């Protein structure tokens, strides 16, 4: 029993909010040695941002030294945006990475 509690003490419990979802508890067996390994363990894609909540605000995670047990993280998906102008009206058109050309075209036509 003593070994079990020691092993758990070396791990990390992180609360991660993925896009359009509630925050979930992710348990890592040990702190990852690099930011790339942290992103991989949390299944954060290359074009997504990983942010850490500190003092009620979110900041970009730049190193694993920022991460602590019980940390609250958020995964952000960057949006792509253009502005469409017709008859003097300018409207923003937004889409997310992974959208097909047809989906983007339909969004532009609707604007």
Q: Does pLDDT of 91 surpass 90?
A: no
Segment 4-47, tens digit of pLDDT: 444 445 789 999 999 878 999 999 999 999 999 999 999 998 88
pLDDT for 4 equals 40
**CA gap 18, 111 in Å, rounded:** 28
pLDDT for 66 equals 94
**Cβ atoms 94, 80 nearer than 8 A:** yes
Q: Name the burial class of residue 44, with classes exposed (0-12), middle (13-18) and buried (19+) by CB atoms within 10 angstroms of its CB.
A: buried
What percent of the chain shows pLDDT beyond 90? 49
């Amino acid at each position: 029993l003593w070994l079990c509690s020691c092993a758990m003490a070396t791990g990390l419990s992180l609360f991660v909010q993925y896009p359009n979802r509630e925050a979930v508890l992710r348990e890592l067996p040990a702190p990852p040695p690099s930011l790339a390994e942290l992103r991989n363990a949390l299944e954060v894609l290359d074009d997504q941002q990983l942010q850490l909540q500190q003092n009620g605000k979110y900041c970009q995670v730049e190193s694993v030294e920022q991460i602590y047990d019980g940390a609250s993280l958020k995964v952000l998906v960057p949006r792509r945006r253009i502005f469409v102008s017709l008859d003097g009206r300018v409207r923003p058109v937004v889409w997310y990475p992974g959208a097909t050309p047809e989906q983007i075209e339909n969004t532009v036509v609707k604007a």
